[in-house]
Amino acid sequence: MNQEDTGVSRRKIISYGWIAATVVIVGEMIGGTLAYLWPKVRGEKSAKLLIAGKVDDFQVEKMAIFRKEKVFINRMDDGLLAMSAICTHLRCIVRWNEQKKVFECPCHGAEFNAFGEVLAGPPPRPLDIHPVETVGGKIVVDTSKVIRRKKFDRVQLVRV
Ligand code: FES
């Protein structure tokens, strides 16, 4: 079979190949440029869940401390509160003083009570809290969400 039989010359095949390669390269350049220029869509911050343990494992009026997650859980008769350990002044990490029953900030001497309310020092508001729910009898805290508050109110307690 020669080129007269097929009607397609070698030169045409090569030129089609060049056209195809050029289309691919130009397409990559345009696609890459658009991908670079297109604003990134930011989704909602993904949840960071702390599965704190079974509800029954939390003693009433005993502060549970989760150092790695920087969370304190205070269980009371009528519910519980999951508080951030990050000081609302300049973000130092507070620690729980079991004898005095207060949170103490090592940076500027602030103190917060067991509900996170400011007792002393410069913080402008109570410790922030995290949403809590019980799933299958376990306490689950979403540490990716922070709730600021002006004061403690018992409606902030999560019934368990
Ligand atoms: S950072 Fe806590 S009192 Fe300043």
What average pLDDT does the segment 10-27 reach?
85
Q: Given this model, what pLDDT does residue 43 score?
A: 46
What average pLDDT does the segment 19-27 reach?
86
Q: How does DSSP assign 25-58, residue by residue?
A: HHHHHHHHHHHHHSPPPP-PPPP-EEEEEEGGGS
Burial of 101 (0-12, 13-18, 19+ CB in 10 A): exposed
What average pLDDT does the segment 109-123 reach?
98
Q: Given this model, what pLDDT does residue 81 score?
A: 96
Burial of 93 (0-12, 13-18, 19+ CB in 10 A): middle
- Residue 90 near ligand 1, beta carbon < 6 Å: yes
Question: Which among 87, 104, 128 is the best mutation to test ligand 1's pocket, defined by most ligand atoms within 8 Å of the CB?
Answer: 87
**Residue type for 47, please?**
A
Which one of 9-18, 46-55, 83-92 scores highest in mean pLDDT?
83-92
Band (pLDDT 50/70/90 cuts) for residue 61 is: confident
Backbone angles phi, psi at 112, to 5 degrees: -130, 145
- Residue 132 near ligand 1, beta carbon < 6 Å: no
Q: Given this model, what pLDDT does residue 102 score?
A: 98
Q: Given this model, what pLDDT does residue 111 score?
A: 98
Backbone angles phi, psi at 130, to 5 degrees: -115, 150
